[in-house]
Structure 1
Amino acid sequence: MKTKTLSILLAMGSGLSGMSYNAQAQVEEKGLIQTQVVTRQQADVSHYDGAVFYSYFIGDTVGSTGAIAGMAVIEPGFEIHPPHEHIDEEYLTVVSGQGEWSVNGKTFPANTGDMIYVAPNDSHGIFNTGEVPLVFVVSRWKSQQPSAN
């Protein structure tokens, strides 16, 4: 029984590795973002008044279009931009520092380890209310459907 189970698992593993190879070939062929490590020194840098944004990945992936993954560093008393809206969905996570989220006209504390999900067309922003730089990471992509809000 153990031999039969092991044979089945090995056969499944072989099939899955073939699927993995085919998926990688499709990624390369379509010019999609590939699995890779990008250092902060390699990221594209955008400077703002009191903030810096590092773009690590921009483009399409196997399951999304218009994806952006990056990190912002906001100095005390600043925001990277005023609260805004867009058709993309996104997650933002505070890595260090403290501030204040603005979500659809309401404010909430933003502390190290906090995360927010933003649906399409919802107003959102973050302001550094602390005494040290606020760092957050963002993952954003084009939504498949408009917001239900």
Structure 2
Amino acid sequence: YANSTASGGRRAHVFNCHTDLYLEEAERHGWLIQIKSMIDLFDEGWTLRSIRKRLKKDPTCTIDSLGSPSDRDITPLRQGPPQDELPDFTLDEMHRQIVKFIVVDDQAINLIECPEFRRLIRLLRPELNDADICHRTKLRELILNAF
């Protein structure tokens, strides 16, 4: 959840109050990290794995007190794994991809209600009708179930 979205408060809460869980999920799902302090750490040579390891080793340590990395990983995990292969289309897979897009790109859940966004989805898959595309209540449920 980026600061520039309506979800900025949630992003800040999740990162500040549930840092380890946030980092664990970011690593597991290959999320692009957009938190300035984390980007600075990556630029210094830290990786998600090494940050999590240091935080678990020393419970008094915080993101702001990490200092210099002791064991540098050359490949930062800031960017997710390349996923060039498209899965076969199903409504469930489309919903999974919408969930992934909303979460990874820090989009507001109500984007799904935007007529232009829904029209774009139908343009890309003309056989869909509006009822095939989930609404924000269902999208919220899918997000909660996915994570």
Please confirm whether the aligned pair reaches a TM-score higher than 0.5, indicating the same fold. no
Given the two structures, how large is their TM-score scaled by the length of structure 2?
Answer: 0.21
Relative to its length, the structure with more strand (as a share) is 1
